[in-house]
Each structure stands twice: as structure tokens, then as C-alpha cells.
Amino acid sequence: MSEVPISWFLMLSAVIFALGVAGFLFRRNIITVFMSIELMLNGVNLSFVTFSYQLKQVNGHLFTFFVMVVAAAEAAVGLAIILTVFKNRSTLDIDDIDSMKN
């Protein structure tokens, strides 16, 4: 009874990913949208580590490591872009940032 079925980890990963998709689609604040992307990346990382456990290989950990590094780089550049957008438009609402729409 002490053991956890491996599918529960994958279910948790799916739930976190779906919540990240929900935040990405429903939220209007650009910073919250960005945080939802991080949430999705975390969900995927959990499945990588779970598959790594199942296959008894270390490769999944390496993929998770690279995802983390890319996410850190992405956060630095993305937040710099958000700063620039706010400096030019003084809004964080993605509905108001629509200059590519027309």
C-alpha cells in the first residue's frame, strides 16, 4: 500500500499542464500568462522525471535540466520584453497590446 502507482504522477503532470493551458488562455495580465507557461513547463518536467524512473535511465533528468536552463533564459528575455512593452505602452493587459492585429 506504501507504493504509488506511476500513472498518478503522470495524471498530476497532466493536471498541472492543463491548468497552465487554462491560465495561458483565460488570463489577461501578460505576467500571469508568462507564469502559466512556466506552469506548463513544470508539468512536462514531472513527466520526464517519471518516465526516467520507469525506464531506470538518467536521460529524462538531463532533459529536465535542459528545460530548466532554457526556461531561465526565456524568463530573462521575456521579462525584459515585458519591461520594454510596459515602458512603451504603460499597460500589461494583452488585449491592449494588439499592434500586430491590424
Partner 1 sequence: MDLILFLIFAIIAVVSAVNVVVQTHPISSAVSLIGVMGSLAVLYLLLGAEFIAAAQVIVYAGAVMVLFIFVILLLNAGAETKRGRSFMVQLLGVPLLIALLGLLAFFVSRLFPRGVSVRFGGFTGGTAQAVGKALFTTYLLPFEVTSLLILIAILGAIVLARKELD
Site for partner 1 in 52-71 (CB under 8 A): 52-54, 56-59, 61-62, 64-66, 68-71
Told to check if 97 binds partner 1 by CB under 8 A, we report: no
Q: Are 16 and 42 in contact (CB under 8 A)?
A: yes
101 binds partner 1, rule: CB under 8 A: no
The Cα 38–Cα 81 span in angstroms is 16
Q: What are the Cα distances from residue 29, in Å, to 33, 79, 82, 90, 97?
A: 6, 13, 11, 13, 11
* Interaction residues for partner 1, span 23-52 (CB under 8 A): 23, 25-29, 31-32, 34-36, 38-39, 42, 45-46, 49-50, 52
Shorter beta-carbon distance to partner 1: residue 24 or 100 = 24
Q: How many CB atoms lie within 10 A of CB 13?
A: 20
Q: Is residue 89 a contact residue for partner 1 (CB under 8 A)?
A: no
